[in-house]
Structure formats: structure tokens, C-alpha cells
Amino acid sequence: MSSRSLSRSAARLAAVQALYQQEMEGTATPALLHEFHHHRLGATIEEATYADAEVAFFDDVVTGALARRDEIDAKIEGKLADGWSLARLDKPMKAVLRAGAYELLARPDVPTPTVISEYLDVADAFYDKREKGFVNGLLDALAKDVRPA
């Protein structure tokens, strides 16, 4: 994997964490970005060093997903099974789906398979196989709508 790919993967994971934190605490976007820039991106935990996140990409995903949250939530909700609502999903799942949906909507420079694969990897950090299948199915269905072939 190239260093750019690794830095984007790190940015995506951090973006999901930031979106989760924002939903939990209601942190204003500038404060949220500041905290991640200064305390989280490229952090070292014990012996493992994580790839430095691509800061501009992180900023775009976080600010874009927050700015377009109502639109993104409506698109996600439209792909949920009957009887399901966004409110039934836990906060980490919402963060993963919002970040992935934002990329599908606003980042045509990133190929659809890359977006889906990357957010499956992010989901893997939080969930088991069943939830990863849910992320895959929802982002794939969303991609068919927002990025017709």
C-alpha cells in the first residue's frame, strides 16, 4: 500500500472517530478539527505507530459530513430496511456510514470500490462480520444511486 493510501486510511479512521465524538459531545467543528490536528492525527499508542493521516483529506471528510449531515442522513435512511431508522443505529455505525456516504457524494476523485473497501476496513476496527456486511450493503446501495455507472 502506498504512503498516500496509508495516510488516507488513517484519515478515514480519524474522521469516523471525530464524527463519533462530535455526536457524543456536540463539539463545534473548529474545536473538533483543532483537537484532532494537535492530539490525535498520527498518534503513537504504546509500541504501534499509526500512519500520519492526510490532514486535508481528514478535514474534508469531517467538515463535509457535518455540513451535509441532513442530506447524508436522509440518503442513509432511504437505504435502511423497512421499520429501521437512523436512530436505531449505534453512534459508531452512524459515523462510519456518514463518512462513507460523504465520500460517495462529494469525492468523485475516489473510486467507488475504494470508498467501500476503506470503510469496511474502518468498520472492522469496531465491529464483527455481520456489521461489516451491513456497511457493505448500505454503501453499495447508496453508491448505485449517487454514482450511477
What does the pLDDT read at residue 3?
Answer: 66
DSSP 54-123: -HHHHHHHHHHHHHTHHHHHHHHHTTSPTT--GGGS-HHHHHHHHHHHHHHHH-TTS-HHHHHHHHHHHH
d(CA 14, CA 82): 31
d(CA 40, CA 30): 15
CB atoms within 10 A of CB 81: 8
d(CA 61, CA 19): 9
Partner residues linked to 14 by β-bridges? none
What does the pLDDT read at residue 46?
Answer: 44
How many domains are there within the chain? Answer: 1
Q: Running along the chain, 149 residues long, what does each successive block of 10 average in pLDDT?
A: 77 94 94 86 50 85 97 96 91 97 97 96 89 95 90
- pTM recorded for the entire structure: 0.90
What does the pLDDT read at residue 39?
Answer: 79
* Domain region containing 45: 3-146
What does the pLDDT read at residue 44?
Answer: 44
What does the pLDDT read at residue 43?
Answer: 53
111: CATH: 1.10.940.10
